[in-house]
Amino acid sequence: MKFSVVRETLLKPLQLVAGVVERKQTMPVLANVLVEVKDQVLTLTGSDLEVELVGHVPLDECEEGRITVPARKLMDICKSLPDSAVIEFTLDDQKAVIRSGRSRFSLSTLPADEFPNIQDMQGDLKVSIAQNSVRRLIDRTGFAMANQDVRYYLNGMLLEVADGQLRVVATDGHRLATAVEDAQVSGDLTQVIVPRKGVLELNRLLNDTDEVVQLTIGTNHIRAKVAEYVFTSKLVDGKFPDYHRVIPRNNEKIVIADRLELRQVFLRASILSNEKYRGVRLILSNGMLQVFANNPEQEEAEESVLVQYQGDNMEVGFNVGYLLDVLGVVDSQEVRLSLNDSNSSALIEEAQSHAAQYVVMPMRL
């Protein structure tokens, strides 16, 4: 086995593939990246048994073969070499030898046959959608995914395919985010849960172009083909909460506010909110929203902002961090807050669109 490649050509796919590899592994071979040379193409594969990423690099002169080498060490070696350096990779007596200029590195290897292969999946449902659309969906909702929650089905993102649209939903039980984009769909409507790590790794692959990404959804896996990469993730086996029941439908108190101004108000108030609970009090009156925060040290913050609101006075408490997360991903100039009373959830949307919706549960202060 032998190949040579320019540093920059190898570094990007290697960084993406090595990102899937976990530092602490139960199987030693999972700390490695699978390196294969066949038909003048270098294939790099990283896996943690849940998520697999395969990258392809075209080669000129090469000798075929396959082996696994330590992912982090190989990546760190490539990163440390100078720009435009030519890297020569050879297999010598079960050691991977990397040469570049006057540098020479010898890495331990493990047999390629030990490397796990996520079985070839058959997917009934195929979705074609622009890369920037998928990115927008993940960026707008990913913050609401749970992290290491005992309700394991919340540690991921719901993908729902129906009526020529791809909808994603994320919730940690305290807030919910959902967004929808048009897509080309062939197959029956379905709902699947992609694990948190799968969502984050897929997002790293995507760029902000309208190039199409092909999603194939099977019973246990989802696969995405993005340019020269093939991403595969296991699906979470569980039932996601019925998000339709969580989204408030009849909130009568409507507040329209400038997004950036509101965000600045919440940011300043959050400085003196309780570090643990992050609670702020919102008091609504005609044309005005007042925000109050305090903490155990008896420090207080008081802010007010002009808003479009006509109706009864109302007081409600929220976790200011949750409000800031929403205002950080919405990109319209104005936002609409729909409220009902001090015990019901708030619905936050862009003022002119229903494509993304955010539900935040109230706090008792």
DSSP per position, 79-90: HHSPTT-EEEEE
E strand or H helix at 152, and its extent?
none
Locus of tokens 């979470």: 236
| Chain Cα centroid distance, residue 351 | 25
Distances (CA, A) of 90 to 58, 75, 142: 17, 16, 41
Q: Is 2-114's fold the same as 125-244's?
A: yes
Residues 6+ apart with CB under 8 A from 11: 75, 78, 79
pLDDT at 361: 97
Out of 3.40.430.10, 3.30.360.10, 3.40.50.880, 3.10.150.10, the CATH code matching 2-114 is: 3.10.150.10
CA–CA separation, 281 and 27 (whole Å): 50
Question: What does the mean pLDDT of the chain come to?
Answer: 95
- Give phi and psi for 76, each to the nearest 5: -65, -35
Contact between 62 and 42 under an 8 Å Cβ cutoff? The reply is: yes
Residues 6+ apart with CB under 8 A from 156: 145, 170, 193, 194, 195, 196, 198, 199, 236
Which residue stretches of the chain are H helix?
7-20, 71-80, 131-141, 196-205, 243-246, 259-270, 320-329
> Is residue 265 left, alpha or beta, with left meaning phi > 0 and alpha meaning psi from -120 to 50?
alpha
pLDDT at 50: 93
Residue ranges per structural domain of the chain = 2-114, 125-244, 247-360
| Sheet containing 279-285: order of strands | 300-306, 288-294, 279-285, 314-319
For the stretch 101-139, pLDDT in tens is 999 999 999 999 999 987 677 778 999 999 999 999 999
Contact between 230 and 223 under an 8 Å Cβ cutoff? The reply is: yes
For the stretch 27-66, pLDDT in tens is 999 999 999 999 999 999 999 999 999 999 999 989 999 9
Q: How much is the CA Rg of the chain, to the nearest whole Å?
A: 25
pLDDT along the chain (365 residues), means of 10: 97 96 88 97 96 96 96 97 97 95 97 87 88 97 97 96 95 97 90 97 95 94 94 95 94 97 98 95 98 96 97 97 97 96 96 95 92
- Give phi and psi for 110, each to the nearest 5: -130, 150
Contact between 301 and 295 under an 8 Å Cβ cutoff? The reply is: no
CA–CA separation, 174 and 151 (whole Å): 13
Contact between 36 and 45 under an 8 Å Cβ cutoff? The reply is: yes
- Give phi and psi for 72, each to the nearest 5: -65, -40
pLDDT at 122: 75
* Assigned architecture for domain 247-360: Roll (3.10)
Structure tokens at 357: 């919706």
CA–CA separation, 348 and 169 (whole Å): 15
Contact between 18 and 35 under an 8 Å Cβ cutoff? The reply is: no
**Among 359, 365, 354, 301, CA closest to 325:** 359
Question: Which fold would CATH assign to domain 125-244?
Answer: DNA Polymerase III; Chain A, domain 2 (3.10.150)
pLDDT at 299: 97
